[in-house]
Each structure stands twice: as C-alpha cells, then as structure tokens.
Homo-oligomer: A and B are copies of this chain.
Amino acid sequence: MNIPKTSYPRIVIIGGGFAGVALAKKLSKQEVQVVLLDRNNYHTFQPLLYQVSTGGLEPDSIAYPIRKILKDFPNFYFRLANVEEIDTNKNKVRTDIGHLKFDYLIVASGSKTNFFGNSEIEKHSMAMKTIPQSLNLRSLILENFEDALLTSDLNERNALMNFVIVGGGPTGVELAGALAEIKKGILPKDYPDLDTRMAQINLIQSGDVLLKGMSAKASEKAEVFLEKLGVIVWKNLRVTNYDGFTVTTNSDLTFKTQTLVWAAGVKGAIIRGLDGIEFTSKSKRVLVNEFNQVKGFDHIFAIGDIAEMVTLNYPNGFPMTAQPAIQQGDQLGDNLLRFIENKPMKPFVYKNKGTMATIGRNKAVVDLKKFKFQGIFAWYVWMFVHLFFLIGFRNRMVVFVNWVYNYVRFDREARLIIRPYKKRLKKN
C-alpha cells in the first residue's frame, strides 16, 4: 500500500467506528503516523440507523466522511480498504488494496449481526447494522405496502403488512416503535385503500424482559409504551427458523410474514489471523487485558465492540455500544503514546454514563447513574444526547430540522424507494 515511510512509528487502525475515530482523534498532531483503514469512506452513527430504515432520516445525516473528521492531522492517512488478514508474525495486514506493515495495530472492526449459525434466517431476514442494510429495509417496507395494494389474496396481503422484529434490545424496541408510528401516521394517509388494521408489528424477545440490562422500571415502561402504540410484544418466545414466508418458534406459534428483521444479537467482526480460540471468546470478540492489549501481544490492541475485556462487573465484557468504544479509543490514545515512550500504561476503567432508548414521540426511557426516568422528559434527553453525539454541525442541523418537522407533522418524508430491494433480489 502506498503509504510513505517516515521515522515515526506507524499505527494502523482497522475500522472507523466510534472506537477507531476516537483513537485517531486522540493521536492527531502527535509524533506518530496513523493509517486508518475502513471499507467505507464514512463513519456511521449506528444508534440512528433505525430512523434511516423508517424514512425519518437520510444516510448523510448520520454518516460523516472519515477524511473530514481527521483532515487537520498531517500524519494521518485514510485508505478505503477491506482488511482480509492480520499477519501477526510479519506485523502486517493484508487488504484488498495490498499489504501494509505496522508497528502498532489496533483492531476496531466492530461487530456484525449474529444469526447464531442459522443460515436460513440469515438468508431471508433483514439486518440493520449498516447504512445499505437500513436502506434495503426501508425499500422493503415501502415495497410491501405497494405490493399489498396489488393482491386480492388476504393471506398474502396480511403477510406483506405483517412485520416481525426479533430481539428486544434497543434496536428492536426503537424500530418497533417507529414502525408503529408509520402505521398510525403515514399508512392511512398514503394508502387510503389499504386496511391499516392489517398492519401488525410483532416484537419477539427470547427472555422475559425488554431492554435487558436497563432498570426494571425502564423495561416495564418500554413495554407499556410499545403496547400503547399497538406493537404486539412477545416475551419468552424464541424464533427457530424463517424460510421467507413463515416464522417458526420454540412454541407452536408461527407468523406469516414477508419481513423478518433480525436484531437478536451481535458478534465480533473478527478478522483472520486473530480468529483462533486462543484470542477470541465465544461471541467472537478478541480477548484483551486491561490495557486493551490482545492476549499474547504487546503491540496489537483491540477496542470497542470487537474487544472483550473481562472485569468483575462485566464478566462477559462491556456492552457492545458506543460508550465503551469511545472511552477505550480515547484512553488507548493516551496509553499508546505512553507505551511508545516506555512509560507505564493506565488500566481502562469503564464509566457507565447511562443507557437510553426511545419508543416513539414523547416516549423514551433513560437510566442514568442517579436518576431513572421515562416519558416525555426522557424523550427530550434522548434527543439532546443523540444530537450532541452526532458528528458535525450540518448533521446536527439537518437532523434537528427533520425531527422538528416529523414531530409537528406526524410525518416521515424520506419514504422513498430509491433502490428497490425486492426487484434486485429477483435479478440476482
């Protein structure tokens, strides 16, 4: 790869998510060379992907050009590349655009959807971890409504208007809420000749609470909010298969649907070279020590979703969310500079700043360390926090304009099928 050799140590970061970007920012203007590799030229603000899927926001509002984040840093290099293998013996990475030697490697490759080995579900269901996936889901939802108009077979129409979301975490809960609002606000206006009552939103959770990991009050309230919006919540139900038509479960319940959204789990986006059992946990995360060093190495690190740091309070690693990723990226920046200067590194301590989820207009749940609250005030806090953490002034402004508009008008105007999903499926 075409990166100049300098006397500075070369730090290669794989992944421009929350962790990778936080680290790169910290290393800016230091006496190191930083090479950031990502398969996209943009950073994705994943917590708002569900709003792209439901036509509330466009991709550019929640994506940000990586080159722009780091444009003032003279020793920074970005390359649009897919990392295929890490060679820990020769200290280099192999990518689709060539090899690259590193002095320090930081794996921040994030996570991907976990189908738990079920290839049929993987084939027929929709995931929502990337912008193209979210746009596909948006197209599919709208195409389903258009197709529902064309059939006189009520079973088929039902299946087209029936949405099944698997996974009661924040993604599943927020998507279910947004779909319920589309059913209520958009469907009757856009499709007066469709019976809105046929549109069903089912949220399936294998355990006995939604938003596991949040407070009991938050879980409970989230469920109440969802049911108020008309979402049908199924608890203690496990999806066993989906063939594109019928969802089967571990009970005798089945669902006929054309749309199964799989938000039931994630696993580390592991890269060959670190995929041996000596490096990874059951959830394909890379095991690291308290300095984020990968087991067995001192110059290879992992941060964010891909890293599993086992601590007393978090025996299975930290939650795979933005907060630990940002904090680890941030701290590793300091630690790396110390390490290069042969100073001792500081162990990472996760500060849980709280968790939150939105269910719909005026409806959110927020757990802070000291305060836990639900409802309209929580919703304002949720919006403020998300606006604050978005990168870029323009993104904040555009998201704000959209949110105000959507709120005042009960509307979502990006209900556009720019790239049809079903037609493409048929072609392939």
Residues of A within 8 A of B (CB): 1-2, 4, 40-42, 58-61, 63-65, 67-68, 71, 74, 77, 79-80, 97-98, 131-132, 135, 142-143, 146, 149-152, 189-193, 392-395, 397-398, 401-402, 405, 409, 411, 413-419
Known: A59-B416, A67-B189. 6 other contacts (CB 8 A): A1-B150, A41-B415, A67-B190, A393-B405, A394-B402, A394-B413
A64 and B416 alpha carbons, distance in the complex (Å): 8
**Which B residues touch A40, using CB under 8 A?**
416-417
Q: Are B405 and A397 in contact (CB under 8 A)?
A: yes
Query: Which B residues are CB-close (under 8 A) to A189?
Result: 67-68, 71
Enumerate chain B residues within 8 angstroms of A150, measured Cβ to Cβ: 1-2, 79, 97-98
Chain B CB within 10 Å, residue with most, of A67, A397, A402: A67
A190 to B71, CA, bound (A): 6
With A58-B58, A68-B190 known as contacts, the answer to whether A401 contacts B395 (CB < 8 A) is no
**Cα distance A402–B61 when bound, in Å?**
11
Residue of B nearest to A70 (CB): B190
For the complex of A and B, list the 7 residue pairs with the smallest distance between their C-beta atoms, beginning with the closest: A60-B414, A67-B190, A58-B58, A394-B405, A80-B146, A58-B60, A42-B416
Task: Pick the residue among B2, B42, B142, B411 that contacts A149 (CB under 8 A).
Answer: B2
CB-CB < 8 A to A190: which residues of B?
A: 65, 67-68, 71
In the assembled complex, which residues on chain B have CB atoms less than 8 Å from the CB atom of A61? 58
A413 near B65: Cβ-Cβ < 8 Å: yes
Q: How far is the CA of A68 from the CA of B413 in the complex (A)?
A: 8
A411 to B411, CA, bound (A): 29
Assembled-state Cα–Cα distance A146/B401 (Å): 32
> Shortest distance in angstroms between A394's beta carbon and chain B's nearest beta carbon?
4
Complex interface: chain B residues within 8 A of A414 (CB): 60
Contact A395 B418 (CB under 8 A): no
Check B413–A64 contact: CB distance below 8 A: yes
- Nearest chain B residue, comparing its CB with the CB of A393: B405
In the complex, the answer to whether A413 meets B401 with C-beta atoms within 8 Å is no
In the complex, what residues of B have CB within 8 A of residue A401's CB?
394, 397-398, 401
- A401 CB to closest chain B CB (Å) equals 5
Check A395/B413 contact, CB under 8 A, given A41-B142, A77-B193. Answer: yes
**5 A-B contact pairs sorted by A residue (CB < 8 Å):** A2-B151, A40-B417, A58-B61, A394-B405, A419-B419
Quote the shortest CB–CB distance from A185 to chain B (angstroms).
Answer: 12
B-side contacts of A409, CB under 8 Å = 394
What is the distance, in angstroms, from A62's C-beta to the closest C-beta of chain B?
10
